[in-house]
Structure 1
């Protein structure tokens, strides 16, 4: 199975760090943030990884290369201008294929077991779902959450008892049908449409997870990893 790491964001909230370094290459716990994902994906059996990039993207290619050192095949989907999440995935579909794939935000850190999560997600997608998302308890910067996770595993847009989308999900290519290659498109409208059609499921991940969105969060995560106490 293939995986995609989203790495095209500008990282405005991380400035000035991201003025000279793309956010996925910022070091945490002794290695670039994106390398944590690559290592975990390789260990989980994902040997084909697609990475999109825009701002300072050549640095990402120069740093990661072909993926040989992790025994994976890395291919790149460059975007002259960042296309947002759905637009970036749609542009990469020729590399991802027409089936199912895992998508991971390049600016999160977690200890999610990608192998087990993808197996559970694939089971849902094989039953006709278009997405299966890893949801986390609401962090301080997103106290309202994103979607409600029902007892049947389906996500809804109900406003009570919401959880936050972790930035990690299994998807089918059909979700992105209608997006032209190179077109900017946010993910939320496509998810909401599929949620209304009961085609999105999820699970509550309660392990360590951090959205590395600010220099303070990056520093806190770095210190926690070095101390052997990754954050929730």
Structure 2
């Protein structure tokens, strides 16, 4: 599979977007210092609004009805912002003030709020622009519960703006994720921070903090880890220099 290949798992039916989303917002934002000295990273502004507002704009457009948001660093600010800004999506708080649980542990802590149906999971420190179709709806249209435990939105490494890494995954010709990047090598696709997960993946977890990689690896071994390639713009907004770089591209649109 070459970089930039457009994958189509199957003809797109009418998208059934999950009603519930998990918004990952509990990180410390160390790479974004000094901007995060007095505010949590999701409240850092890019293109005129906080990162988490961009996320909620996308959730709102896609038709998501409720969002579970985990909080840890400067959690009071996060909660106050969500109360003031989000009126049309039901927001539930998964409180990690006592212990930051990383992505996998955060999902486990929030599992009862996420329900028993497939749910959307979105990182709050990335920014994307839809391509010809709404990215979340495109992801939802490809979800196949019989074949999938996780469906990730990925972007070609060559189009991953500001991304400092070497890629994350290799895909087969059908869109199944078949390989994680190995140390010292590059992989053609980068995870955008947007995915649909089945509640089935939340099982047999370790105590304390751990990464979602545990669930992905299990799904990949079972040939149930899939991807859809994002056709629009995507930005890794992880550091102060990335803000200016992102805004410069958006200003040219």
Q: RCO higher in 1 or 2 (8 Å CA, sep ≥ 6)?
A: 2
Deviation by residue 1:93-129 (Cα, 9 ceiling, x = unmatched): 111112200001000000242442342243x2x2141
Deviation by residue 1:74-111 (Cα, 9 ceiling, x = unmatched): 11111022211111011111111122000010000002
Could you tell me how far 1:184 is from its partner in structure 2? Answer: 1.0
Conservation of the 8 A alpha-carbon contact between 2:22 and 2:121:
yes
Greater fraction of residues in helix: 1
Residue in 1 that maps onto 2:146 = 127
1:171 aligns with one of 182, 197, 216: 197
- Inter-partner Cα distance in structure 2 for 1:57 and 1:108: 19
Residue 164 of structure 2 aligns to a residue in which SS?
Answer: helix
Could you tell me how far 1:28 is from its partner in structure 2? Answer: 1.0
Residue 74 of structure 1 aligns to a residue in which SS?
Answer: strand
- Inter-partner Cα distance in structure 1 for 2:168 and 2:46: 27
Residue 141 of structure 1 aligns to a residue in which SS?
Answer: coil
Q: How does 1:55-134 map to 2 (within 5 A)?
A: 55-65=73-83, 68-69=86-87, 71-80=88-97, 81-112=99-130, 113-122=134-143, 124=144, 126-134=145-153
Matching of residue 156 in structure 1 with residue 204 in structure 2: no
The number of aligned residues is: 223
Could you tell me how far 1:153 is from its partner in structure 2? Answer: 1.5
Residue in 1 that maps onto 2:215 = 190
TM-score (norm 1): 0.89
Residue 110 of structure 2 aligns to a residue in which SS?
Answer: helix
What runs of 5+ residues in structure 2 fail to find an aligned partner? 1-18
Deviation by residue 1:32-83 (Cα, 9 ceiling, x = unmatched): 11001111211111010111110011101101117653x1111111102221
Conservation of the 8 A alpha-carbon contact between 1:66 and 1:74:
no
Could you tell me how far 1:27 is from its partner in structure 2? Answer: 0.8
- Residues 82-91 or 214-223, more deviating: 214-223
TM-score (norm 2): 0.82
- Inter-partner Cα distance in structure 1 for 2:54 and 2:217: 30
- Inter-partner Cα distance in structure 2 for 1:8 and 1:86: 12
Report the RMSD for the aligned CA atoms in angstroms.
1.9
- Residues 100-109 or 40-49, more deviating: 40-49
Residue in 2 that maps onto 1:208 = 233
- Relative to structure 1, is the Cα distance of residues 158 and 188 closer, same or farther in structure 2, using a 3 angstrom cutoff? closer
Residue 65 of structure 1 aligns to a residue in which SS?
Answer: helix
What runs of 5+ residues in structure 1 fail to find an aligned partner? none
- Inter-partner Cα distance in structure 2 for 1:33 and 1:68: 13
Conservation of the 8 A alpha-carbon contact between 1:54 and 1:78:
yes
Matching of residue 136 in structure 1 with residue 155 in structure 2: yes
- Inter-partner Cα distance in structure 2 for 1:20 and 1:214: 15
